[in-house]
Amino acid sequence: MKEYYLRKEFTLYNGDCIDVLKSLSANSVDMIFADPPYFLSNGSFTCHAGKRVSVKKGNWDLGNGAQKNLKFHIEWLKECKRVLKLNGTIWVSGTYHSIYQCGVALEINEYHFLNDIAWFKPNAAPNLSCRFFTASHETLIWARKNKKSKHIFNYNLMKNGKWQEDSLKKSGMQMRSVWSIGTPKPSEKLFGKHPTQKPLDLLKRIILASTDRGDVVLDPFTGSSTTGIAAMLNDRTFIGIDKEKQYLDLSIKRFENLRSTKVSDTAANKLNCNFLQPMLLEPKEKYVLKRKR
């Protein structure tokens, strides 16, 4: 399939992810981060800037009923499994609208679960109905291709790295499965907004936890390519797929801006560029142990 955008280590495809994944080589990807539609744009409401607004993210987020939604999750996860390398892992994010179905679809495809992470949003929007609890977390399932896979987990970096954004992470203690990370900062939306954009700090952590420098990271629902930006900042190669060109164009703007401002971590340190700190980078200490491929 022809690329929509092709640069060294950053490739975007426009199309349905199932079709695009079918066109990619088997066993070619080290890690997949997937943020599939939550299928919640069917008449519910949320709070934005203190006002009650309809949840209509786009036609891509309209559900087709439980059976068809589940079939969709089974199909894209099957194609993801084909492109993952033997030791590869996948992360799938969602709320209760979708994450249980994704969990079932992962099981049907015989992935092997590693963790479920509760991503707590300390600045989540309030609940205006006051009839149930305020939704303030999303779930991330982390799974490996199969039980025999020797997956990567950069344990020491997770334990001893700097995670200042997270008030729950205690310095020098093991990284736990509840992560406190705020929603995307205004600086992450300079080139336009994606309605379900993920924070860079979340993707940075995922990439640093489960890949090494030079690894290939794929996002089948790339949106504004937060995954791709985090991959670039940390010297990974990125492949993103989305069926909406407007989001790929936003991804390109984010990528080109980053490319024009990217400074090596040594140069950033020399210049004392603190603004890069929240996004960057593996520390200089050699936390990442060499692994056999």
Ligand X SMILES: C[S@@+](CC[C@H](N)C(=O)[O-])C[C@H]1O[C@@H](n2cnc3c(N)ncnc32)[C@H](O)[C@@H]1O
Binding residues vs ligand X (CB under 6 A): 16-17, 35, 37, 60, 194, 196-198, 221, 223-224, 226, 241-244, 247
Amino acid, single-letter form, for residue 244: E
32 and 23 in contact (C-beta within 8 Å)? no
Please tell me the distance from the alpha carbon of residue 1 to that of residue 6, in angstroms, as a whole number.
Answer: 12
Q: How far is the CB of 292 from ligand X (least distance, A)?
A: 32
Distance of CA 89 to the CA centre of its chain: 13
* Cβ-based nearer residue to ligand X, 11 or 197: 197
Q: How far is the CB of 177 from ligand X (least distance, A)?
A: 20
Q: How far is the CB of 264 from ligand X (least distance, A)?
A: 25
Token pair 């801006």: residue: 257
* Cβ-based nearer residue to ligand X, 154 or 226: 226
Distance of CA 30 to the CA centre of its chain: 14
* Cβ-based nearer residue to ligand X, 235 or 244: 244
Give the CA-trace dihedral at 163, 166, 172, 176, to 10 degrees. Answer: -120
* Cβ-based nearer residue to ligand X, 87 or 89: 89
* Cβ-based nearer residue to ligand X, 152 or 203: 203
Please tell me the distance from the alpha carbon of residue 138 to that of residue 228, in angstroms, as a whole number.
Answer: 20
Please tell me the distance from the alpha carbon of residue 275 to that of residue 271, in angstroms, as a whole number.
Answer: 11
Q: How far is the CB of 139 from ligand X (least distance, A)?
A: 14
Tokens at residue 59, please? 């036609």
Closest residue to ligand X, judged by C-beta, is 223
Tokens at residue 116, please? 């479920």
Q: How far is the CB of 16 from ligand X (least distance, A)?
A: 4
